[in-house]
Every structure is written in C-alpha cells, then in structure tokens.
Amino acid sequence: MAIKDTAVEWTVTGTTTPFTGAKTSVRTDHVVMPDGSTVSRDYQVHPGSVAVLALDEADRVLVLHQYRHPVRQKLWEIPAGLLDVPGENPLHAAQRELYEEAHVKAEDWRVLADVYTTPGGSDEAVRIFFARGLSEVDGERFEVSEEEADMELARVPVDELVRGALAGELHNNCLVVGVLALVAARAGDGLDALRPADAPWPARPFRA
C-alpha cells in the first residue's frame, strides 16, 4: 500500500461563517459522517503561507526572532509570509518574503516540504522552500512595522537548530519541519533531488 495522502470530501449540508477577520475567518460546516450522523466542525479558513529555509555557504540557516502574541513567546523562525493574492505563485511570494524580512536573495530554489499546519482546526497549507546561493540585496531595506519592527536576524548552524528542535527549545513548525527535512534530504538522495521550485501544489494551485 502506498503511504500517500488522498483527496476526499464528505458531504456538507450547510455552512456558516461566524467570524471574518482581516486575513482569516472561522467557518462552521455541518458534515455527514460515515454512520449517517451530521456533526458541526469549526475551523480557520486561511489563504496559505510560504516559508524559506535559506542556507548559506557556512552551513548556517537564516533565522528571525519574532514575538508571537497567541503563544506569548518570541520564537526563532525562518522567513515566512501569507499568500496574500489568490492564485499567487508561491515561489514569487517566498522570494518576496526573503527580501522583505532578511534583505537577501537566492540563486537556487527548491521545494523542501508541503505541510498542513493544524489540519484538525485549520485549512492552512504551507510550502517550505529550500534556498541557497545567498547574497545581500542592493538598495534600501524594506520598511517594517508592528511585531516585525522588533525582529532580530541571525544565522545559526544547522546542527544547532536540530539540537534545539529535539531538545524542545525551538517550536516554530516551519523551522522544525524545514531543518529536519533538510537533514533527511541530505541523508537520502541529496539536496539536488528535491522537487523543483515550481512543483505542483494541489493544496494551493497557482499560476506559472
């Protein structure tokens, strides 16, 4: 048996949207179960996100230290952002986020992993890119505000991030998944065998 997620959709008899925010909303679906009963399922409707694990020539990952109010912590993260435009090419969004948050560009882009962050309570899908061949971007830095105004930038060795993830000291899902996927790719077929940056993404179809 192939271990592969499959697309399926159970019957929905009704839907309401009790909350609509600036970027996300909450939806309530009435879903028919296999035994014929109908239950309510509440979940966050999310536009989707991209994240970038950017690796420099010294085997360090570019990370950001940013305050996240829902968990009341400053988390170490990799550059990431929302897919603000429906149908937006995720590679273009990732390149924009790397520029805006770190003022860096990359020559080589590949797909590292595609994940659903919390599929029991949100439809958020994230594509984590792998980027290498880093260089600074010329010109003025992108103007930041709110939480990003307090953001710190660092480059941390891969081994140190792996240690922190396994020790329970690092918690951001894109950072943890990205770093462990990087190590797994190296131990497997190698980084050159990763999917191309324009690989299909059924969770968030995009224009070429």
b/e code 20-57 from CB counts within 10 Å (16+ = b): eeeebebbeeebeeeeeeeeeeebbbbbbbbbbbbbbe
Distance CA 106, CA 85 (A): 22
Tokens 């997620």 belong to residue: 5
Catalytic (active-site) positions: 148
Q: Which two tokens stand for residue 208?
A: 């070429």
